[in-house]
Amino acid sequence: MPVYIPRADRRDPLEGHMTGTIDATPESISDVTLRGGAAAPTPVEPGDAADGALDESGAKAPTPAKKVAAKHSPRKSTAPRKASESERPSKPKRQRRTTLFPAATFEDALELATAVYETGAGQPVRRITLFDNLGKSPDSGASRQLITNSAKYGLTKGSYSSEFIELTDDGLYAVSEDTSPAARIRARFKLAIESVEVFKSLYDSYIGNRLPVQAVLIDRAREAGIPEEDATECVETFTVNTKFVGVLRSISGAERLLSIDTVIDDFLPQTAAQPAIVRSTVSQRQSPIATPEQIQNAGYESACFYISPIGEDGSEQRKHADLFMGALVEPALAEFGLSLVRADKIGEAGMITGQIIEHIVHSKLVIVDLSFHNPNVFYELALRHAVRRPIVQISRAADRLPFDIGQVRTIVVDTTDIYTLVPQLESLKAQIAAQIRKTLDETAEVENPLSIFAPSFWRHLPGVTTTA
């Protein structure tokens, strides 16, 4: 219905009196029509003459609709408009260049297998029902990737377009609550490591040893055919998987890859432990000095014996010994091709056996940690002095060395706190490696306090010759 607005504020410019009321609509009050009269004149603004001429009554002629719309439309800024977030070009996602390993960790893929087991009690489950229970869209990119990764690990069967998703036999063993812990671990190891060729190759290369630095693993992954752009992701996924299934553990101060049988032994029933009986391999009439053939056969020429305070499990001395061995000694020794042997690996901690003495006497190198002033350590060091073979000494800064062995080059490690130790690790490894190299390069018999202060010591030993 038209709205009538009194024309109290508008006068006809020609007649000089009120012309009546405005007949207008709410939709467009600008289209004003005088009730019972002609169109109301519009005041002429500067510049309007160019748009249209005045009519006979002096009012401006109607302007074409296009021009009116343009005149009353908001003025557009000439400044460049800033692109909105949705209009900005997005960074392209990195495309994986290989399908040689799954695009997720085994633990992440295990989510789907566990959901199948819990939803369907191990039986096949409709894909849509499965993801409804997970609270996820069955057709989203993340859901499709989850199905793909689970299938690549061999946990489930069925693609993201299948009606049903079901567990494989190994997948059922990996998630079933009725499976024994040992069987569950073995199934998970098979799926997470053995079923992926590149992961199995990496595992087989370092089983029984400390895990090398990431750069070495990346080189090995590339040799196995993994593109350079995906090698880092491959190594990271492998490392996470080995940690999850339990074959990568921190032992003796370093991350080490264990055999699956060693891991499973932890879940088997333990029999009552028998008292350890440590017997010397050297009879009272037999000399511990072996022939060159025996030394070669026993592998002493490729061995480095590590003399160290060991202590009981969980003690400060054991933690110290594990840290020094794993973080310093083993990495420094890697380039020389020598296998590290510690006393507790060949006998009972705290016992000096014939086998330990043989390693002290015959090993190509001995590294001795003089920390804590352990009596056994000093005794074993003296035995090594007696045979005048290569020795490298290390010690923590908190222990002041006795005068006689303090004259020998010793690499001192400040263990005051973690903030002083960690920044030194690389330089300490370099110092130990340099000292090993120098000691092994010496062609003459090694000088030590015994050869310096008691050079006639060896003359009293029958059958022993020395250059001293």
Domain identity same for 300 and 441 = yes
pLDDT score at 126: 94
Q: Round to whole Å and give the CA distance between 261 and 282.
A: 32
Domain identity same for 213 and 154 = no
**C-alpha radius of gyration, the chain, whole number:** 43
Q: Round to whole Å and give the CA distance between 133 and 114.
A: 12
Residue 434 included in any domain: yes
Confidence of residue 344 (pLDDT cuts 50, 70, 90): confident
> 114-118 contacts: CB < 8 A, separation 24 or more?
114/175, 116/156, 116/165, 116/166, 116/167, 116/171, 116/175, 117/167, 117/172, 117/175, 117/176
pLDDT score at 37: 46
Residue 467 included in any domain: no
Confidence of residue 290 (pLDDT cuts 50, 70, 90): very low
Domain identity same for 412 and 434 = yes
Confidence of residue 354 (pLDDT cuts 50, 70, 90): confident
Confidence of residue 146 (pLDDT cuts 50, 70, 90): very high
pLDDT score at 4: 52
Map tokens 């160290």 to a residue: 308
pLDDT score at 458: 77
Phi-psi region of 396 (alpha: psi -120 to 50; beta: other; left: phi over 0): beta
Domain identity same for 326 and 197 = no
Q: Round to whole Å and give the CA distance between 372 and 366.
A: 18
10 Å CB burial of residue 392 (0-12, 13-18, 19+) is: buried
Q: Which of 148, 179, 210 is the last residue of a domain?
A: 179
Which residue range is the domain that position 396 belongs to?
292-460
Query: Rounded to the nearest 10 degrees, what angle do helices 197-206 and 228-245 cross at?
Result: 70
Domain identity same for 242 and 390 = no
Map tokens 């000494």 to a residue: 393
Q: Which residues pair with 167 in a beta bridge?
A: 156
pLDDT score at 88: 56
List the CATH number of the domain containing 139. 1.10.10
Residue 81 included in any domain: no
Residue 309 included in any domain: yes
Q: Round to whole Å and give the CA distance between 341 and 365.
A: 10
- Evaluate whether 370 touches 405 at the Cβ level (below 8 Å): yes
Comparison of pLDDT for 254 and 159, the residue scoring more = 159
**pLDDT tens digits for range 372-397:** 999 999 999 999 999 989 999 999 99
pLDDT score at 423: 87
**pLDDT tens digits for range 83-98:** 554 455 555 555 656 6
Domain identity same for 221 and 159 = no
Contacts of 109 (CB under 8 A, 6+ apart): 102, 146, 149, 150, 152, 153, 155
Residue 152 included in any domain: yes
Please report the beta strands in 133-289, taking only residues with DSSP state E, as ranges in sequence order: 156-157, 164-167, 248-251, 254-257
Q: Could you tell me which of 381, 387, 377, 376 has the C-alpha nearest to residue 289?
A: 387
Q: Could you tell me which of 385, 302, 308 has the C-alpha nearest to residue 342?
A: 308
Given a cut of 50, whether residue 439 has pLDDT beyond it is: yes
List the CATH number of the domain containing 420. 3.40.50.450
Q: Round to whole Å and give the CA distance between 90 and 93.
A: 9
Given a cut of 90, whether residue 42 has pLDDT beyond it is: no
Residue 371 included in any domain: yes
Residue 218 included in any domain: yes
Q: Round to whole Å and give the CA distance between 396 and 9.
A: 100
- Evaluate whether 131 touches 143 at the Cβ level (below 8 Å): yes
Domain identity same for 335 and 380 = yes
Domain identity same for 305 and 210 = no
Q: Which residues pair with 339 in a beta bridge?
A: 303
Q: Which of 126, 158, 179 is the last residue of a domain?
A: 179
pLDDT score at 234: 95
Residue 121 included in any domain: yes
Looking at the 3D structure of the chain, how many domains does it have? 4
Q: Which residues pair with 4 in a beta bridge?
A: 23
Mean pLDDT for the stretch of residues 41-68: 49
pLDDT score at 228: 92
Choice among 136-145, 148-157, 296-305, 421-430 with the minimum mean pLDDT: 296-305
Cα dihedral 220→254→362→281 (10° resolution): -120
Q: Which of 234, 267, 300 is the last residue of a domain?
A: 267
Q: Round to whole Å and give the CA distance between 25 and 128.
A: 56
- Evaluate whether 303 touches 338 at the Cβ level (below 8 Å): yes
Given a cut of 50, whether residue 411 has pLDDT beyond it is: yes
Average pLDDT across the chain, whole number: 78
Domain identity same for 210 and 154 = no
Confidence of residue 254 (pLDDT cuts 50, 70, 90): confident
Q: Round to whole Å and give the CA distance between 426 and 413.
A: 12
Domain identity same for 257 and 302 = no
- Evaluate whether 367 touches 306 at the Cβ level (below 8 Å): yes
pLDDT score at 441: 84
Domain identity same for 153 and 258 = no
Mean pLDDT for the stretch of residues 439-464: 75
pLDDT score at 210: 87
Map tokens 């130790």 to a residue: 421
pLDDT score at 168: 96
Domain identity same for 309 and 432 = yes
